Structure 1
């Protein structure tokens, strides 16, 4: 399975080349710093052709937003919908996602509209995940389900927002398609070990103490 990084430019349509160039340009320079000329140069086309396909820089960003939503949520949906998680599935997810992840990192940092949409969609997916897997602990319509799911979404997306610090600590580009799997492996490992710790003596004591403090300080009606 190949990604846009492996395929020669002639294997992509002009529209797709422009979109991919725009994803990279917006991720690198932000919306204000990006220019149609830089996108056109990177895609090997004229500015006129960019305008023909997308109309304006705002139209180009809207197309990038739609692509990132489809890519990111489509990958997550495969896992949640019960698709068998094989190495080929994982490879395809990472190869398709590098441009989208870099774009999303910038969108989250600058507060673009697509960031809020993706956060909400991710939190909604987390709610379904919690309710379907632990229905007794996370019954529908309880506020704690919404809160836990929102925190879960924030935990996952924080690795994208803080990618510069991750890259510095890891000594590699954390968002490259070669290294993205390392983030997933690390997160799964942390979850596994924290799960063990939080149900042990010390971890359970911490959880109970925080819960007791919250109940004590919670405003009363």
Structure 2
């Protein structure tokens, strides 16, 4: 969390992100959030009213934080010194919350997914430094698939952590999985011939499907 943002309201929000991420909205309690934040339950209710109000605040914070992080990565470039550390400092603490929200379902989770697909479609269409422009004729579906795979890694972090020995939503566990994902994107796993045969088979099954 942002160490400069240590107001009582921010501490409560940060504690709620962790409690909701670990226990879900139904399992988390005002008392548990208050205890984690080091405040009284009454102060939680004073700032946020109800647990639903606190969840809405967490949703807004999460979406805003991810949007700002993406914008910084685009404007500064992923090779900018210190950017990765800054991104991890902001995003890793909220990833468990995102994972739980995507599974439990919420308007904010839906908005985050849709927003990410839209942003990816625009960015991939423009072309970014160091990235090839996709050859697909269905960029929206391409972006949706990439977004789903990316969020899938977050949702399945516990299984990945069990297999790899470290939770990828921690500073210790993140690098190994991130490097593996880079390898996946860098490798040409399928031969052109296999791709062509697979596309032909899919088009026979669904003639309206674009390439």
| TM-score (normalizing by structure 2) | 0.88
> How do residues 45-124 of structure 1 correspond to structure 2 at under 5 angstroms?
45-83=39-77, 85-124=79-118
What is the distance in 1 between the residues matched to 2:8 and 2:148? 35
- Report the secondary structure of 1:174's partner residue: coil
Counterpart in the other structure of 1:35: 29
Contact 1:71 1:100 in 2 (8 A): no
What is the distance in 1 between the residues matched to 2:163 and 2:141? 30
1:129-149 deviations in whole A, cap 9, x for unaligned?
Answer: 2211166846xxx6x111111
Deviation (angstroms), 1:96: 1.3
Contact 2:20 2:28 in 1 (8 A): yes
Structure 2 residues without counterparts, runs of 5 or longer: none
- Report the secondary structure of 1:197's partner residue: coil
1:27-75 deviations in whole A, cap 9, x for unaligned?
Answer: 0110001111110111111111111111110010001001111112221
Please tell me the root mean square deviation across aligned C-alpha atoms, in Å: 2.1
Counterpart in the other structure of 2:192: 204
Contact 2:78 2:84 in 1 (8 A): no
Contact 1:102 1:175 in 2 (8 A): yes
Deviation (angstroms), 1:105: 0.6
Which structure 1 residue ranges, 4+ long, deviate > 3 Å from structure 2?
A: 81-84, 134-138
Counterpart in the other structure of 1:153: 147
Number of equivalent positions: 204
Deviation (angstroms), 1:219: 4.5
1:204–1:69 CA distance, 2 compared to 1 (3 A) = same
Deviation (angstroms), 1:109: 1.3
1:181–1:125 CA distance, 2 compared to 1 (3 A) = farther
Counterpart in the other structure of 1:128: 122
Identify which range, 26-35 or 204-213, moves more after superposition: 204-213
